[in-house]
Structure 1
């Protein structure tokens, strides 16, 4: 596949990688591939190369990565393991496939996808949260992306643990919480963030957002700030990574 107006978005998560082709702003071919052999750099690199070859894609590839990015280097990736520190993923990928790569933090990628959804709120400050293995965060301030926040790592003064340790999807699964109990925990996190940062809106994304009918109402009843779900659902990060080539 070699279309000038097609871009491949890659969203590296804690349990899987999501891929999607974006053509003229519209989502086309997409897939989710779960990890079978861990989340080490060679394995994730192999999965990306395999999908590019499978789809015969040549062109721009945007990658959303769950960690701190400086330039093209990965500084830290706490949810994937210590092998990722100072790892140049793009440098290795360029040696294997003929594509043009860019990389961004996964929560910042999700916020890029949401820019189009916030077209009527150009004067607002919107806090975008990605719910998954951790909790990623990014701002859309008056229509502009403000990258580099790591609110999921903030330690809540009353809970004595980080926000993502309290209410991530990983915690939901590891502690076998009911969806009701997890929603109450997420409400606590959103209440903390709205008090500290005073956003005009929250927009949530991540795989669990596709089942928001089961839990969103209980959150909106407990949080004063409007809470919305990304219309891209679990593809939000991949779509935003693809949009990286148009910003």
Structure 2
């Protein structure tokens, strides 16, 4: 259950890196250095668990069970099970991931989709705080994650990075994620053309009131956001690539009227 604690640990598991930090739950800020290790090649469950233990050891909280722990994972998460595996091993599909981490770490955890928890961070502490209507957060990294928030309430497990492109073999994230820019050595202008297609498509489907861009590339927002021509305002995530850590930690915080802390 969510608590009234003032600090918690957030772990953000991604396709290329696993990050963690201790978070001030009142301010929505890191109290510690951000610890990061590479996501193990193949990202199989046992290897990912070992990497999570490593970042918790480096933070000095591996055995501190009095501090709430939230874990963000790049998959559809329902009732503690991971139902997809876009950038991790297929062994996660249909896997009882929450129980696996709890057993492996020897403690209770809060567990949710990585983009959803980034959305929680931005609603509670960032660009979506106090915003009415429909907010769509997208994380641009190894893939494209998405969080849909309506009047401050999270609609969990949207997968807008997997929108299909007519007559193409690659879905949206294969074409427009930040990893595609790096893989194909695209310029900011070339990549922005792909993002224009993506956000135009999402804008047409959902008519949002605000787009928020998160993920590692959000720290370079000044290089590409101005190149996009949209009807909807689009801004970088306030917490940039730390949104996943902060949102995961915030799952342990009870806030009356705030975004629900579970995604079941």
Common topology (TM > 0.5) = yes
Pairing of 1:104-119 with structure 2 (within 5 A): 104-116=112-124, 117=126, 118-119=128-129
Corresponding residue number in structure 2 for 1:165: 174
Offset at residue 38 of structure 1 (A):
3.9
What is the aligned counterpart of 2:242 among 225, 230, 235?
Answer: 235
Equivalence for 1:27: 30
C-alpha separation in 2, matches of 1:93 and 1:192: 37
2:190 is matched with 181
Instruction: Name the one with the larger strand percent.
Output: 1
Contact 1:60 1:99 (C-alpha < 8 Å) held by counterparts: no
**Kindly tell me: are residues 44 and 142 of structure 1, through their superposed partners in 2, closer, same or farther at Cα, counting changes over 3 Å?**
same
SS at match of 1:7: strand
- How many residues of Structure 1 are paired with residues of Structure 2 in the alignment? 242
Q: TM-score, normalised by structure 1?
A: 0.91
Secondary structure of 1:22 counterpart = strand
Structure 1 partner of 2:200: 191
Structure 2 counterpart SS, 1:187: helix
Q: Is the 8 A contact 2:40 2:48 kept in 1?
A: no
Question: Which segment is superposed worse, 31-40 or 195-204?
Answer: 31-40
1:74 aligned onto 2:82: yes
Q: How many Å apart are 1:92 and its aligned residue?
A: 3.0
Give me the whole-angstrom Cα distance separating, in 1, the residues matched to 2:141 and 2:208. Answer: 21
Other-structure match for 1:143 = 152
Computed over aligned residues only, the root mean square deviation of the Cα atoms, in angstroms, reads 1.9
Tell me how far apart the structure 2 counterparts of residues 103 and 176 of structure 1 sit (CA, whole Å): 35
- Structure 2: gaps (5+ residues): 254-260
Given that 1:65 and 1:103 are in contact with CA atoms closer than 8 Å, whether structure 2 keeps it comes out as yes
Match of 1:60 among 30, 52, 68: 68
Q: Show the counterpart of 1:224.
A: 231
Structure 1 distance, partners of 2:198, 2:41, is: 33
Tell whether the 8 Å contact from 1:49 to 1:93 is kept in structure 2 after alignment. no
Q: Is 1:49 aligned with 2:50?
A: no
Query: Residues 79 and 97 of structure 1: is their aligned pair in 2 closer, same or farther, counting only changes over 3 Å?
Result: closer
User: Greater relative contact order (Cα 8 A, min sep 6): structure 1 or 2?
Assistant: 2
Q: 1:159 to 1:97 in 2, by over 3 A?
A: closer
Decide which moves more: 164-173 or 194-203.
164-173
Distance 1:180 1:6 in 2: 41
SS of equivalent to 1:203: strand
